[in-house]
Amino acid sequence: MNVEKFREVIKQREETDDEWDYGVEQCWKKEIEILTEDIDSTIKFLQTACTADEYSWISEIIDDVAMETKSSELVEEYKKLMERFPEECEKYNIAGSIKNAEAVLEKEDIDEEENRKFS
């Protein structure tokens, strides 16, 4: 994971007016791309270098990251940060974002199970 590039995109996202849908979506797309290119390094980033601010911005896209990677380990590492950043969790309803990400993974598991039944 390119942490420097990720931090640049987060800075762009902070400066992007929430009313400008295209700009926000472009930032999200770049964030997702960076976070999903190497799951192991993203997990390491979450464990060692993720700041409270970055944690809160990731909450906007954690369900998309889960859908792209299908990685329960990544979502679990993200979830563990709730203890380190309780203020952000409360302020930004990060628990809700995590539930959405877990639901995405659960749906993927159900879909795979259904596909196996009909194969």
What is the domain partition of the chain in residue ranges?
3-117
Q: pLDDT of 40-76, one tens digit each?
A: 999 999 999 999 999 999 999 999 999 999 999 999 9
18 contacts: CB under 8 Å, gap ≥ 6? 24
Q: pLDDT of 2-17, one tens digit each?
A: 999 999 999 999 999 9
Q: Mean pLDDT over residues 99-105, rounded?
A: 94
Q: Where are the alpha helices (DSSP H) in the chain?
A: 3-15, 21-36, 39-48, 52-58, 62-69, 72-84, 86-92, 94-117
CB atoms within 10 A of CB 46: 22
pTM: 0.86
